[in-house]
A = this chain, B = another copy of it.
């Protein structure tokens, strides 16, 4: 069963400082078939349903050129998630492990990242497959898949720097 807001046996909640080190702006909204956390996929799949990412003004111009990429990375805000559980029990069986070793939505900064297949862009709407988030999820960012993107700007010294073997 997906977590609603309960703390489970074996889990550890912390008293976290207020989250005001930096502020996010929601730049769009994601439309998916999933209205409820009880039916949402655990993981997106590339043959999953087509979802629509609606980009708000004044950011629509930032989509220019995105269709050069077959795959893009999507960052979104997991707006229903608790943020204070550092050790979690995914199976609800009393066995807990750290949040950073899980891709749980319950995280100190509840940001989801997903790599999706880009189908097409129509105006302010980007159609993709591979998402796993709730309908209405706030959009934070879109980027080209890192494995497909080659920087256009000139290289810098750090690009050639390697470490010890």
Could you tell me which A residues sit within 8 Å of B by CB distance? 1-2, 12, 14-27, 33-34, 38-43, 45, 47-50, 58-59, 61-66, 68-69, 72-73, 75, 77, 79, 83, 86-87, 90-91, 96-103, 107-109, 111, 113-115, 129, 132, 138, 140-144, 146, 149, 151-159, 161-164
Contact = CB atoms under 8 A, between A and B. Distances in A.
5 contacts: A62-B98, A62-B99, A62-B100, A102-B143, A103-B151
B159 A101 contact: no
Secondary structure of the A side of the interface?
Answer: loop
Given A75-B113, A163-B47, A101 B12 contact: no
Most interface-central of A1, A16, A48, A141 (chain B CB within 10 A): A141
